[in-house]
Amino acid sequence: DTAVSQTPKYLVTQMGNDKSIKCEQNLGHDTMYWYKQDSKKFLKIMFSYNNKELIINETVPNRFSPKSPDKAHLNLHINSLELGDSAVYFCASSQDWRGPGPDTQYFGPGTRLTVL
Amino acid sequence: RKEVEQDPGPFNVPEGATVAFNCTYSNSASQSFFWYRQDCRKEPKLLMSVYSSGNEDGRFTAQLNRASQYISLLIRDSKLSDSATYLCVVRSNYQLIWGAGTKLIIKP
């Protein structure tokens, strides 16, 4: 059983298009995250949701909009895609980040986005 | 100064050798520390948490030095399968701050 799943795994699209990436976790975790890993392999957090509530919103262009319909899902919609958006996007989940539980983050397999 | 810094490497090490690398952090109030491993074109996975007293998991030993604000990872009897990028993660003020990773290549 996949703990954290993302779709699609690969996404190739033209500049200016709008695309969405979906993420689901079946671990019962309260907190979910979106990360971007660029060509230099630096992993940077974009957003974090806890029980459908946005708790971390790093400096990310407002073309990126996360949506959490329930605590098991966190989707990422990107408007007007640009060349610089090409990267691998990882979804992750963990237990409530504010609680005493373990901080371990479980990552999805990643979505490799290429903007042409 | 970056919040979490790591030597990017690569560290080229012969199989069977011992290798160690450090990670420095800037926030002295940081609460938790972790090492993650990321294989090429794969997602990061937790390798081990780092406890104040230091901890060991098989061939892997993690240490925390709060006075000098760094954590370390030691790998003994390295295997080819240890080749990966090792990411240092620090929890500060409820945020997880990721290092850029140290690339390790184990050679036969």
Q: Give residue-wise pLDDT tens across range A12-58.
A: 999 999 999 999 999 999 899 999 998 877 888 898 888 888 887 77
Helix (H, G, I), strand (E, B) or coil at B57: strand
Does residue A101 register a pLDDT over 60? no
Res B26: pLDDT: 93
- pLDDT digit string (tens) for A60-98? 899 999 999 998 999 999 999 999 999 999 999 998 666
Q: In the A/B pair of chains, how many CB contacts fall below 8 A?
A: 41
DSSP state, B52? T
Q: What is the mean pLDDT of chain B?
A: 93
Strand-pair partners of B63: B72
- pLDDT digit string (tens) for B18-35? 999 999 999 988 888 999
- Residue B97 confidence class, pLDDT cut points 50, 70, 90: confident
Interface of A with B (CB under 8 A): 40-45, 56, 90, 97-98, 102-105, 107-110
* Closest alpha carbon to A108 in A48, A12, A13, A32: A32
